[in-house]
Structure 1
Amino acid sequence: MTLRLILVRHAKSSWDDPAQDDSDRPLNARGRDAAPRIAAWLAERGHIPAEVVSSTARRTVETWERMAPTLGECTVMRRDPTLYHAPAQRMLEVLNHCAASPVLMLGHNPGIGEFAARLLKARPDSARFTTFPTCATLVADFDAGDWSEVGFGSGRVVEFVTPKDITG
């Protein structure tokens, strides 16, 4: 059986209020534009999540809210506070407890970039993959019957994209 993961770093967030708590930072204009464009790109390719798990930070929740109209508002969405600035190992633990496929996971750097790199057998041919910029999206497949069987070094790249790669 093949399981699919759609790994998305939150869209670009605002730094307008330096006194604002990091977890409360909203998306900025660029982020509000990028999230639905990434969603449209995913939908065009048939990458529609059955389950979404997201950090509880405002910018990750807002990223999904801007993606959901295109990818399916009836998708099961779970907010997990342990994904807020989570390291790769914690992200894997969360993924190992998911139930459906495809899973769309929303998180933060540096953890999400490390998680993406460690999950794959071979990295995609993209210079941007190493920095995993805002709204970067990796689609990866795993030969496993259940998410609990997925570990580091077991994924295959299906696609990788950043908002700058999408025209329009």
Structure 2
Amino acid sequence: MKTLTLLRHAKSGWDDPVARDFDRPLNPKGQRAAAMVGRHIKSLGLAFDHVVASPAVRVVETLDHVGQGYGSDLAPAWDQRIYLASTATLLDVVHELPAGADAVLLAGHNPGLEELVLLLVPEGESLRDQVEIKFPTATLAQIDFQVTGWSDIRTGGGTLTRFVRPRDLDPSLGPDAP
């Protein structure tokens, strides 16, 4: 079995005057949400054999804060292809994951992550329906696959076992909270 956990970067600062989208940092709410998600990951006892992530500043900062909440550095492998990637590119990244890794965290951006969940999980699952509505910032989606290798993952072949939004952990991290 292979388990893929997707993490969308936390809320970034649109008010920050940066020249490139790639360089946008997290805002304070995003920092709090990422740390909260890290604590939640730890409370669930989740561990990852491999972490791969977009090198965009907001993803780097998200993983730093998640790691602080988790209590350990996640030591990601940075992959430029994940930055604003299409679903096809993300699926290529998944297919190329290390064979010895059974539990992987992939951190990146929307709409790619949301579309990847919708591609890999068959219609009709209640958690999938929530993803269709919205895949907010700093949200985790965990998908299990009954396969032996990452290259065996196919459309509709996964089971969405977890979909956790920051507001599920702390209502003050919801969309209307300051």
Work out whether the TM-score is over 0.5. yes
Root-mean-square deviation over aligned CA pairs:
1.7
In the TM superposition, structure 1's runs of 4+ consecutive aligned residues that sit over 3 Å from their partners are 122-128
> Does the Cα contact within 8 Å between 2:127 and 2:160 map onto a contact in 1?
no
Q: Which of 135, 138, 141 is the aligned partner of 2:138? A: 135
Tell me how far apart the structure 1 counterparts of residues 18 and 141 of structure 2 sit (CA, whole Å). Answer: 32
1:121: Cα distance to partner? 2.2
Please give the TM-score of this superposition, normalised by the length of structure 1. 0.91
Moved more, 120-129 or 28-37: 120-129
Match of 1:21 in 2: 20
What amino acid is the match of 1:72? S
Tell me how far apart the structure 2 counterparts of residues 128 and 163 of structure 1 sit (CA, whole Å). Answer: 14
Tell me how far apart the structure 1 counterparts of residues 107 and 61 of structure 2 sit (CA, whole Å). Answer: 11
Q: Secondary structure at the match of 1:160?
A: strand
Match of 1:155 in 2: 158
Q: Structure 2 stretches of 5 or more lacking a match?
A: 172-178
Q: Identity over the aligned pairs, expressed in percent?
A: 34
Q: Secondary structure at the match of 1:125?
A: helix
Q: Secondary structure at the match of 1:52?
A: strand
Tell me how far apart the structure 2 counterparts of residues 110 and 32 of structure 1 sit (CA, whole Å). Answer: 21
1:27: Cα distance to partner? 0.4
Please give the TM-score of this superposition, normalised by the length of structure 2. 0.86
Tell me how far apart the structure 1 counterparts of residues 126 and 169 of structure 2 sit (CA, whole Å). Answer: 17
Tell me how far apart the structure 1 counterparts of residues 129 and 152 of structure 2 sit (CA, whole Å). Answer: 30
What amino acid is the match of 1:145? T
> Does the Cα contact within 8 Å between 1:92 and 1:151 map onto a contact in 2?
no
Q: Secondary structure at the match of 1:104?
A: strand
1:22: Cα distance to partner? 0.1
> Does the Cα contact within 8 Å between 2:121 and 2:128 map onto a contact in 1?
no
Tell me how far apart the structure 2 counterparts of residues 124 and 43 of structure 1 sit (CA, whole Å). Answer: 25
> Does the Cα contact within 8 Å between 1:88 and 1:112 map onto a contact in 2?
yes
1:128: Cα distance to partner? 4.4
Q: Structure 1 stretches of 5 or more lacking a match?
A: none
How many aligned residue pairs are there?
166
Tell me how far apart the structure 2 counterparts of residues 162 and 13 of structure 1 sit (CA, whole Å). Answer: 16
Tell me how far apart the structure 1 counterparts of residues 27 and 149 of structure 2 sit (CA, whole Å). Answer: 37
1:50: Cα distance to partner? 1.5
Tell me how far apart the structure 2 counterparts of residues 65 and 15 of structure 1 sit (CA, whole Å). Answer: 20
